[in-house]
Amino acid sequence: MEINAEGIVVKGKKEKPNTKKFSHDEITQIPGSFGDPIRSIETLPGVGVPSFFLGEFSVRGANTNANSYYLDNLPIGNPFHALGIHSVIHKSMIEDMEFHSGSYSAMYQNAIGGVLSLHTPKRISKDFNSIELSLFSVSASGTRVSEDFQDYVMVSGRKSTMNETYGQFGVLEAGYNFPDYYDAQIKAKKSLNPNHSLYFYALVSEDRVGIAPESGDSNSEESNPILDGGDVSLKRGFSTYALRWEYEKSRLKNQISLIHFHPWEVADANLANLEIDARTKSAYSSIRQDMEYKDGYRNKWEFGSEVRYLDYSSGGITSYSNRQRGLLPNPFDVFDRQFQVSSIDSRYNDIYLTSYLQTEIPTNWGIWQPGIRYEALRDLDRDSVTPRLRWDKTHDSGEWNLFFKMGRMSRYPTEPMAGDFEASNPRLNFEKSDSISMGFLIPIKKDWMIQAEPFYQEFSDLIIRDEKVSNRFQNDEIGLSRGLELMIRKKPSSSKMSFYGWMSYTYSENLRRFPRSDNDDWITSDMDMRHSFNLVAGLKVDENWRIGFRFHARSSFPITPIIGDDGGTTGNFFTGQRIYYPIYSEYENSSRLPAYHRLDLRIDRNFYYEWGVVSAYLELLNVYGRNNFVEQNWNPASPALRETNPRGTLDIASFRLQNPGVTIPLINFGMEAKF
């Protein structure tokens, strides 16, 4: 602040417009999202969802395991439950959400794709409770605040109900069930004095998927000769516990966090000669420090460090194929056993060290944000240095914002460590991504903004399984991604009737290459999605009614064509069924399924009472009944037949009635009481 002849002038830094930071209201009522705020991630530019079942997403062509997810800078194991309908964090815990792609702040780590950062409410002023029932889940949340409004406890959780609702209509074949899942979250704050606070977090999630098809006695579309008579069960989950001390005064903020993070998986399968009973965990315990300081020259300095004790282990038994990768073995051949059953008893421990420095320096030539992170695995003798830089130049009192981003990101290999340590080759390099992009962000009138960002990204040391030894990992793949992202956004206003939404479009090309192989030509990546378009719009009519729609259209992900079958030379020894294995074209990822598009609608109605409010909502997914195929499906009970085998697998929003053979919208109805 300064005083001159014109009076008192207050100077401050205006917050830059941001098209990828969303408020709670914007992301909880997106049509087709089942009221789950994290589902809004798939409407953003550069994001593709190749596997709806697992809820995984790809960012700018990176693999689905290349992302990092945080809640208040604490790790989340997987963002979605099985089927991808619900996320693992209840919406009441989320105040806002940020999404980062390309070159991101050095504060985040272990991602060469994207970073999803969720933030819980910092301050809470009143008690709050909610109960929600829908066709897909039941959930509840509650908040208790102290009399002086300094301390609070937040609790929330969800349990799936699909087997109790849709499962009662016989939509699945005998022996198949919908996934069961649950999650729970706790956040508690204790204020020690105006500058010191303690926080406790507990995040827990678990998914269960199991199938046990009945034995068939003939080849038919309803039977699967590979699975018939067997059973498969998969479980996964994670838990995150943290105790955090926070100091905040004037220009300085510092946090010290004790974190225990424990993702795990359990796989059980019994298919004749194939046996799996494997359990893996990839846990770590750490102490982490994060500091932010704003000096007297308007510069911001962020510094952090972390020491992790990695505790990865696996146990049980598993089956390895004796045949070269790419050739499908027969688990029912009792004379030529094509699987080797092996016991697993592996453990890996290491010390992971990391630190970062991120600064923000405003100058007459724009705002410079250089950063750097160092990471090291002590026992493996592997390390990574990843610098990055962002530059923003604001023109005409914030009307124009030009930006430039470049940097290197890295990810340390976790998959080999969590499996059979000795056999899978854990001595791998960090996966790396070098990204460069530039663009502009323009506020248009009030609450409107447009952003365009061309990008170029190179991947190196990508981890894949060895072609000749199916369970061994190598840093054998490189890749590139290039394209253009465009987003136009209208933020909600405080008026009685308000409109909000956004339009996003992405054009991208994603390629992969194996420079150490005999054929090192570039091929289209599994994550290649050339075109993606989203239009999301919501209208708050008044305090009682809200309506909205979402239209989504995209190119399908590439597939390798199936050109025939092996003639059914093998079979299920126990049921007498013949098994037909597909023969793939030598031209990998040279074809695509038809383009994907659908329209979703949502209507919300609020009913107000003295004790609170009841919100009822109706969602219609895939309103015009489009048959959207998300992957190529092979029926091993049948030879290759044109238009019937292979055929596409419908996504979850395509609810197909076999009789009379029509696709109808997927319906979700629910009610939420807030009091």
DSSP state string for 141-199: EEEEE-TTSS-EEEEEEEEE-TTTTGGGGT-S-TTB-PPEEEEEEEEEEEE-SSSEEEE
Strands 531-540 and 578-579: unpaired
- pLDDT tens digits for range 139-165: 999 999 998 888 999 999 999 988 888
- pLDDT tens digits for range 57-67: 899 989 888 99
Residue 167 lies in a domain: yes
DSSP 8-state assignment for residue 126: S
Which two three-digit tokens encode residue 626? 């489009």
Mean pLDDT taken over the chain: 84
Q: Which residues contact 112 (CB under 8 A, 6 or more apart)?
A: 62, 66, 409, 410, 411, 431, 432, 433, 459
Query: Hey, which of 348-362, 388-402, 435-449, 632-646 has the most confident mean pLDDT?
Result: 348-362
How remote is the C-alpha of 534 from its chain's centroid? Answer: 18
- Rounded Cα distance between 323 and 305, Å, is 46
- Rounded Cα distance between 535 and 570, Å, is 49
Residue 3 lies in a domain: no
Q: Does residue 650 carry a pLDDT above 80?
A: yes
pLDDT at 273 (0 to 100): 63
User: Which whole-number Å values give the CA distances from 81 to 137, 446, 521, in the listed order?
Assistant: 12, 38, 37
- Rounded Cα distance between 419 and 267, Å, is 12
3-class state of residue 66 by DSSP: helix
Of 282-291, 391-400, 537-546, minimum mean pLDDT range: 391-400
Main-chain phi, psi angles of 77, to 5 degrees? -70, -55
638: number of Cβ within 10 Å:
19
- Rounded Cα distance between 152 and 146, Å, is 6
At 659, the pLDDT band (50, 70, 90 cuts) reads low
- pLDDT tens digits for range 198-212: 999 999 999 998 877
Q: Does residue 327 carry a pLDDT above 50?
A: no
Across the range 100-109, mean pLDDT stands at: 91
The model's pTM is: 0.88
Q: Does residue 240 carry a pLDDT above 60?
A: yes
CA 80-81-85 angle, 5° bins: 80
Nearest to 532 by CA among 466, 573, 591, 484: 484
Burial of 12 (0-12, 13-18, 19+ CB in 10 A): exposed
- Rounded Cα distance between 43 and 552, Å, is 8
Assign residue 259 a region: left if phi > 0, alpha if psi is -120 to 50, beta otherwise? beta
pLDDT at 396 (0 to 100): 62
Structural domain count, the chain: 1
At 293, the pLDDT band (50, 70, 90 cuts) reads very high
Q: Does residue 398 carry a pLDDT above 70?
A: no
Q: Does residue 326 carry a pLDDT above 50?
A: no
Across the range 211-237, mean pLDDT stands at: 70
Please, what sign has the CA dihedral across residues 643, 645, 648, 653? Answer: positive
Residue 503 lies in a domain: yes
Nearest to 500 by CA among 487, 512, 514, 489: 489
pLDDT at 223 (0 to 100): 67
- Rounded Cα distance between 616 and 606, Å, is 6
How remote is the C-alpha of 604 from its chain's centroid? Answer: 27
Q: Does residue 660 carry a pLDDT above 90?
A: no
DSSP 8-state assignment for residue 92: G
- Percentage of the chain with pLDDT > 90? 42
DSSP 8-state assignment for residue 214: P
SS3 content of the chain, % helix, strand, coil (to 5): 5, 60, 35
Q: Does residue 633 carry a pLDDT above 80?
A: yes
Nearest to 74 by CA among 308, 293, 257: 257
At 325, the pLDDT band (50, 70, 90 cuts) reads very low
Residue 592 lies in a domain: yes
456 in Cβ contact with 437 (< 8 Å)? yes
- Rounded Cα distance between 83 and 105, Å, is 31
pLDDT at 168 (0 to 100): 76
Main-chain phi, psi angles of 417, to 5 degrees? -70, -35
Which two three-digit tokens encode residue 463? 């981890």
User: Which whole-number Å values give the CA distances from 538 to 443, 647, 671, in the listed order?
Assistant: 20, 36, 19
- Rounded Cα distance between 255 and 236, Å, is 31
User: 119 is in which domain, residue-wise?
Assistant: 14-674
Q: 600 or 412, which is more confident? A: 600
584 in Cβ contact with 566 (< 8 Å)? no
Across the range 184-202, mean pLDDT stands at: 96
Which amino acid type is present at position 609?
A: Y
Q: Does residue 384 carry a pLDDT above 80?
A: yes
Alpha helices in 385-429 (DSSP H): 415-418, 421-424
88 in Cβ contact with 94 (< 8 Å)? no
Which two three-digit tokens encode residue 181? 């899942």
Q: How many residues does the chain have?
A: 675
pLDDT at 141 (0 to 100): 95
- Rounded Cα distance between 580 and 639, Å, is 6
Residue 542 lies in a domain: yes
Q: Does residue 227 carry a pLDDT above 50?
A: yes
The CATH number linked to 35 is 2.40.170.20
Q: Rounded to 10 degrees, what is the CA torsion of 474, 480, 484, 487?
A: 10
pLDDT at 10 (0 to 100): 33
Q: Does residue 2 carry a pLDDT above 70?
A: no
Across the range 622-651, mean pLDDT stands at: 85
- Rounded Cα distance between 284 and 240, Å, is 10
Query: Hey, which of 123-132, 238-247, 325-334 has the most confident mean pLDDT?
Result: 238-247
85 in Cβ contact with 42 (< 8 Å)? no
User: Which whole-number Å values give the CA distances from 448 to 399, 442, 498, 502, 533, in the listed order?
Assistant: 11, 8, 13, 9, 19
pLDDT at 466 (0 to 100): 61
Residue 437 lies in a domain: yes
Nearest to 103 by CA among 456, 486, 517, 427: 456
3-class state of residue 93 by DSSP: helix
Across the range 560-564, mean pLDDT stands at: 91
- Rounded Cα distance between 122 and 145, Å, is 12
Query: Hey, which of 105-109, 288-292, 654-658, 661-665 has the most confident mean pLDDT?
Result: 288-292
Residue 1 lies in a domain: no
42 in Cβ contact with 49 (< 8 Å)? yes
- Rounded Cα distance between 552 and 284, Å, is 39
- Rounded Cα distance between 419 and 417, Å, is 6
Which two three-digit tokens encode residue 50? 């190749």
Residue 4 lies in a domain: no
Across the range 14-25, mean pLDDT stands at: 58
- Percentage of the chain with pLDDT > 70? 83
Q: 287 or 466, which is more confident? A: 287
262 in Cβ contact with 237 (< 8 Å)? no
Of 36-40, 89-93, 382-386, 434-438, minimum mean pLDDT range: 36-40
- pLDDT tens digits for range 75-100: 998 888 988 788 899 989 998 888 89
